[in-house]
Structures are given as structure tokens and as C-alpha cells.
Amino acid sequence: MEYIRSQCRLLKERIAEPRKFMQVLAGPRQVGKSTLIRQALREVTMPYSIEDADKVDPQDTDWIGRVWESVRTE
């Protein structure tokens, strides 16, 4: 049986809200962010995009803006 993280319910509720903002899941490496988002997205029927920011240059202050624009135009 798979362990479902306690934050999964809250994340699913946030994803189901009317879309006004993007949802950003941030935290230290290796704490279970990817596992949590995969668990929550199993039950989501709307389109979504997952972006990995591990290798983004810290000086690239517009990265999140470019990601936002790219998913808004899809």
C-alpha cells in the first residue's frame, strides 16, 4: 500500500480552485515534492505542466515569467 502524504488533500483542493494563479510547489531537494505532485495529479483531469527548476540559473529572474506565459498560451 502506498503512503499518501498529508499535504495531498490540500494540494488537490488548490488545484481544483478556479484558476487565477499558478501553483508553485517549492522546497529543499529530496523531501518528496515530485511524489506529492504525482499523487495529487492522478485525479486531475485538466491539462497541467510540471517544470523542474533545479537547473535554472539563479540570475535568470524571468524564468518563472516565461514558464507562466508558455502555459497560458497553450
Residue 25: inside a domain, yes or no? yes
pTM > 0.85: yes or no: no
* Domain membership flag for residue 1: no
Q: Do 15 and 44 touch, CB atoms closer than 8 A?
A: yes
Domain that holds residue 54: 7-72
Question: Domain total for the chain?
Answer: 1
Residue 2 included in any domain: no
Residue 44 burial (CB count, 10 A): 13
What's the confidence (pLDDT) of residue 70? Answer: 87
Q: What is the pLDDT of residues 45-73, one digit of tens each?
A: 888 888 888 889 999 999 989 988 888 77
Residue 36 lies in a domain: yes
